[in-house]
Every structure is written in structure tokens, then in C-alpha cells.
Structure 1
Amino acid sequence: MYRVGVIGCRGIGNRHARGAESIANAEVVAGCDLVPEQRDEFAAQFKATNPGLEMYDDYREMLEKAQLDIVTVATGDNRHADLVVAAAEAGAKGIFCEKPLATSVEDADRMVAAAESHNALLSVDHTRHWFPVWHRCQELAAAGEIGDVRAVLCEHYGTRSMLFRNGTHLLDAIMWFAGSEPAWLVAELEDGYEDYSEYRGDGGHDPATEPSANAYIHFANGVRGIYLGEKQTPNRLDFTVSGTTGSIFIEREGDAYIERDGERELVEPRPWEVEGIEAGMHELVRALDGDGELSCTGRDGLIVVEMMIACLQSQQQNNAKVALPLPR
């Protein structure tokens, strides 16, 4: 039985816990939050189905006392690093970290290093890996159903299209469909953020604290990625994968189509028992059991962090080309 502890007990942390408690060989035995009301609400929601649940206000105490096999991290975007490092050092076998992995390359580096040096599996919650329609579309692209992928375009609009908060999801998805690591990019930040040289957000709450961005990404295999983010427009998400013999279109509402020879057909994925964040938790446990690999590893998350920081650097260099990976 895997003993699971959740750090950050509101909102997404509840999703982590629901995913864990739906796994036959896992039990939520610990929750940690700085806010007493959040601890009380978490305990009220999960204590009945997880009778061994204990609540903490200090993650260090939780890691010391709870003997955890799996730790999930659902705190603000800029507060993941110390928690992941501490979990790895405390002996956690698996760590499920919210996106973005970190808001600086330095933090992301030490998180990945800690997980690897302590043989902990580190999974990053770029959730589209566990949405059936996105998963099926990526399978079709990788199988050559639209020929060789040549370009991936993402249009990401609305007040929540902040680069670090939600742009991280789509940059990860672009890389996933490209099937390669980025070699360089050129970017422009939202007007009014020209001096935004490092992350100064509030953990992902107020859209005014971080910019949206537009980026042109050249991948090592020659695929081109284009990410268009704009906070000053109505909500919209369109994702297009173009290949030598066809295209795949994914819409915000969840519908997807494949178009070949002028004919468009609906992509109908196989049903999953669980999907989204909960499916990510299931995948981590399967990987710990030796059944499969992680869809989005700590190193994948690190590359996405590098892309976001490269966007800031490109803006600071008069929208110049920035080579990846970034120098250390």
C-alpha cells in the first residue's frame, strides 16, 4: 500500500487526493497546508475514506513523521522547488508536482537533480497528457497518420493565458506533438511587460502579475512551433498540428478532427476509466509498480521551464533568437 501525502490542500490538491484514493494500492495518509481552514476542509472531505489521514501545518514535519511513499505538490507556481527537493531527500519513491515545475531554471535544475540522485520518479502535471482526445491525437500524429509533422500552432487566448500559469501547458503540448526538444526560439511578451526579466508572479492567481507571450520555436528535428498567447481577448484555445499529408485540429471544447485529402473526420478516443489529473496519479503508481513510464517527467518539465525563461530573455534582447538548452 502506497502512503500518499498532499502538500497544498485546496483546489488542485483535492484533485491529487481524489486521484490517489481511487487507486486500490494507495491511501492518503497526510495533508499539509498553512491555512487552518484548508486543513479542516481537506480532513472533512477525505478522512472518512482515508481513516489514517493526519493533517500538518509544516511540510518538514509531515515528511519526517508520515513515512510517505508518494508526495504530491499543489502549492503556488513559484513554491514547488523546496518541497520537491525535501520530498526526494526524505525518501519519497514518487512525486507528483503541479505545473509549471518551477519558475526559474535554477530551481528546476535542483528539483530534477534531487529526484534523480534519490531515485524518485518525478511527474509533472501537464494535464493534457491524460485527456483522452489529446492523447489519441498525439498517437495519430506520432503514427504518421498526417505524414511527417512539420508545424504545431497553438492559439491560447483569454485572461488566464499567463505564460507561467497556463502557457506552460501549451508549450509542453507543442513539444509533445513536435516529438523533439527545442533548439531555439524567438519571443515577444505582452505589451507593458517589456522589463519582465524574471518571474514576478503571485503563484498563478492574478493575471496582472505575469505576461502572456508569443513565441516561434524551432525544434531539433526541424518542426516549427508557434505559440500565440493573448490575455486581452475572449477565451479561446485552438491547437493545430500540420503534417505533410494532413492536419489535426483540437478545439477548446474538447472536439478534435483529422483532415486528409480534403476530408475531415472526428477523432473519437477510446474511453478511459479516469482522466486528467486523476489519471496522472494512476500513471505514477503504475510506473512505481514497473508498469509503464511517465508521460511528463521532471526533465520534460525542466525543458518547458527553459522555454518560458527563454521567452523572457528573448524580449530582453530585442526579441533575439535564444538558443536552447540555456547555458548554466
Structure 2
Amino acid sequence: MYKAGIIGCGRVANVHAGGYEKASFTSLVAACDIDEPKLQAFSEKWGVSRQQYTDYEEMLEKEELEIVSICTKDNQHPEPTIKAAESGVKGIFCEKPMAYTLEEADKMIEACDKANVKLSIDHSMRFEANYRKLFKIAQSGEIGELRCVRFNNLGGSTSINSLLHDTHSFDALLFYADAEPSWLSARVQKEDSRETITGCISFKNGIYATFEYGGRRNYGTYELILEGSDGTLSAVHGKRNSLDLNGAYSWEPFVRIWKKSDGGLTGFRDGEPIETEKSDPWLAGIEELVQCIKEDRENISSGKVGRVSLEMIMAIYESERQNGARIKFPLS
């Protein structure tokens, strides 16, 4: 049984706690937050009321934890990750974004490598059963050779902070392309407090990606499209599968497939529904982390992989600074 602790007891900490509770090989034994009422409520809910801390370094010193979840605010992930690695834990499950700068990300990776700690970044689509199924279908050749990955993530205001909050989208491009990026070109359009970001990415295996992200919409939706030489897959999120309504099941998308053999542009627009399932990506992420510890291997959502999605976001603003120029990877 792996002893686990959580640093940061806000909303997302609850789905981490649920994962530890469901896993047969982990036990949540400690929690930390500087907000004492929040800490107390969280600890009582998840049965760790005797191991409450307002200082995470004290928790790391006293509890001899083996796995730690980092669920602090977005810009506060690096320091507790590094301290946890230095404390002797075996695995760290860090919320996205892993950091706000590449320098911070490098320090996190270095600390974990030095201590032989398995670092996992919570890019949930890599763990969620339906999105993994899409990956397998795309890899199987059922829609031919994968040519392009697209996403539209629309609604609300956008800034580099919101992009960093949603590194999921750029990690999805990386996940489905299954290769490192070669170059990126993007433009950032500003209107009042809103930004709309559009761009394209070329990957080293010849697959390319296009994206639209952000503002100038009065509604919110997420659509991921995988285009093959002989067909297409699409996955759509909406209000019906929001975290507020469905908790850990919020990642269950609406999925359709169309193949050239089906014929017709109407068929292309509609496609055939693919049956989906309810799955808990946080449980799956914890299971993956434990297997990495046992097998001494890299995580499918490792810190090194998480760094690339962060690098892609940085490249967007560098491209805009250079009037949409192609920005080559790795960034200098």
C-alpha cells in the first residue's frame, strides 16, 4: 500500500482524493493547505482529519509519503514538486500546468531525475479511457494514415494565463500526433479583454495540427478532430459533460467516426456515434504512476512530455511577436 498525501485542498484535490480512495494500492494519509477551514473540510471528507498540515514541508518530513499530489494554484506547482522530490517520495502527480516558465519546468524535471522520482503531469486526456480509445483507433489505420489533428476550444477571455491553465489542449495535439513538434506559427487577435488564438504546428513525423483557442464567442465548447487519409474522428465536449455536473466523469466526450467508404459529405458531417464509457482519469493516472514506480519506467504523461506542451504555448506568443513567423523547436 502506497502512502499518499495531497498539497493544496481546493476543488481539483477532491478528484485526486477520489482516485486514491478507489485505487486498491494507495491510501491517502495526509493533506496540506494554508487555508485551515478548507483543509479541515477536505480532511474530514476524505478521512485524514488526524494528519492535517498548513506547512507542506512539515508534512513531507513527518509522514514518510511515497506519492504526493500537487494541487496548489497554477503558478505554485514548482516549489512543492521539488521539495517533495527531495523528501524521498517515489512518485509525484502534479496538476497542470507543471509550471509558468520553461526554467521552472527544467528545475522540476532535474530534481525528480536526480532523486529517481516518477513525475506525472495531470493531462487527463492521456489517462481517460475514451480519449485513449480514439488514439488506438487512429493508430489502427481505420481512418487511414493520420494526417492532421485539430482542436477548437472556444469561449470566454483568453490570455497566456488561461492558455497555461489549459495545457490540456496542446498536450492533446502532442498526444495524437505522437511526435515532437518541428515548428509552430500563430497569431493572437485582441478585442477588448478577449483574445482569439489561431495557428498551426508541424510535427517531425509529417502530421500537422491546427487550432483555435479562446475569446470572441459567447459560449464555450471543445472539439477535437483527427483527420486521416480515409476518414475522420471527432470528439466534442459541452455543458452536459462538465465537471460541475459529472465530477470525475467530465472527460467523457461525444464521439463520432466517418470513413470514406461510408460516402457522402453529409455522412462526413454526421458520422456514426461511437459508444463511450464513464471512466475516472484521475484513478487511471494514479494507477499509471504506481506502475511506473513498480516497473521503473517513464510515465505516459511525464514531466518531460508536459514541458513540451508548455513550450508550445510559449512559442505562440513568440510567433505573434514576430508577426506570425515560424518558430522552430526546441526554443532557444
Q: TM-score, normalised by structure 2?
A: 0.87
Separation in structure 2 between the aligned mates of residue 293 and residue 310 of structure 1, nearest angstrom: 26
Residue 235 (1) aligns with residue 235 (2): no
Cross-structure match for 1:147: 144
Counterparts of 2:142 and 2:180 in 1: how far apart (Å)? Answer: 21
The residue that corresponds to 2:232 in the other structure is 247
Equivalent in the alignment of 1:75? 72
| 1:186-243 Cα distance to aligned partner (Å, 9 max, x none) | 11224169xxxxxxxxxxxxxx6x9553221111111111110022311111111111
Quick one: which amino acid aligns to residue 265 of structure 1?
E
Distance between the aligned counterparts of 1:165 and 1:214, measured in 2? 17
Aligned equivalents of 1:158 and 1:46: distance in 2? 34
**The structure with more helix, counted as a fraction of residues:** 2
Q: SS at the partner of 1:213? A: strand
Against the structure 1 CA distance between its residues 187 and 323, is the aligned structure 2 distance closer, same or farther, given a 3 Å change threshold? Answer: same
Q: 2:98 aligned to 86, 98, 101, which one?
A: 101
Are 2:256 and 1:257 equivalent residues in the alignment? Answer: yes
Matched with 1:283 is 288
Equivalent residue of 1:45, what SS? helix
Q: Matched residues in 1 for 2:103 and 2:297: separation?
A: 29
Q: Larger deviation: 254-263 or 284-293? A: 284-293
Aligned ranges 1:57-206 → 2 under 5 Å:
57-159=54-156, 162-166=162-166, 168-191=167-190
1:127-147 CA deviation, whole Å, 9 max, x = no partner?
A: 112222211111111122211
Counterpart of 2:289, as a letter, is L
Who is 1:266 aligned against?
A: 273
Partner of 2:7 in structure 1?
Answer: 7
**Which structure 1 residue ranges, 5 or more long, are not aligned?**
194-207
> Cα gap change, 1:285/1:236 in structure 2, threshold over 3 Å: closer, same or farther?
same
Corresponding residue SS for 1:289: helix
Equivalent position SS for 1:217: strand
Residues in 2 aligned to 1:11 and 1:160: alpha-carbon distance in whole angstroms: 21
Distance 2:98 2:198 in 1: 20
Tell me the secondary structure at the aligned position of residue 76 of structure 2: coil
* Contact 1:163–1:213 (8 Å) recurs in 2: no
Name the CA shift for 1:212/1:100 in 2 (closer, same or farther; >3 Å): farther
1:291–1:114 CA distance, 2 compared to 1 (3 A) = closer
Instruction: Return the alpha-carbon distance in structure 2 between the equivalents of residues 311 and 43 of structure 1.
Output: 40
RMSD across aligned positions (CA): 2.0
In the alignment, the residues of structure 1 paired with residue 327 and residue 77 of structure 2 have an alpha-carbon distance, to the nearest angstrom, of 26
Aligned amino acid, residue 240 of structure 1? I
1:62 partner SS = helix
Partner secondary structure for residue 39 of structure 2: helix
User: 1:293: how far off?
Assistant: 5.8
Kindly state the Cα deviation for residue 25 of structure 1 after the two structures are TM-superposed: 2.1
Q: Tell me how far apart the structure 2 counterparts of residues 261 and 149 of structure 1 sit (CA, whole Å).
A: 14
The equivalent residue for 1:224 is 208
Q: Which amino acid aligns with 1:248?
A: L
In the aligned structure 1, how far is the partner of 2:294 from the partner of 2:155? 40
Distance 1:258 1:226 in 2: 19
Shift of 1:279: 2.0
Distance 1:114 1:292 in 2: 17
* AA at the equivalent of 2:295: G
Residue 215 of structure 1 corresponds to which residue in structure 2?
199
2:28 pairs with 1:28: yes
> How many Å separate the matches in 2 of 1:291 and 1:159?
42
Question: Does the Cα contact within 8 Å between 1:151 and 1:242 map onto a contact in 2?
Answer: yes
Q: Residues of 1 paired with 2:290 and 2:196: CA distance?
A: 34
Secondary structure of 1:78's aligned partner: helix
> For the Cα contact (< 8 Å) 2:157–2:195, is it kept in 1?
no
Q: What are the Cα deviations for residues 259-290 of structure 1, in whole angstroms up to 9, with x where unaligned? A: 11252332235x56x42223212221232233
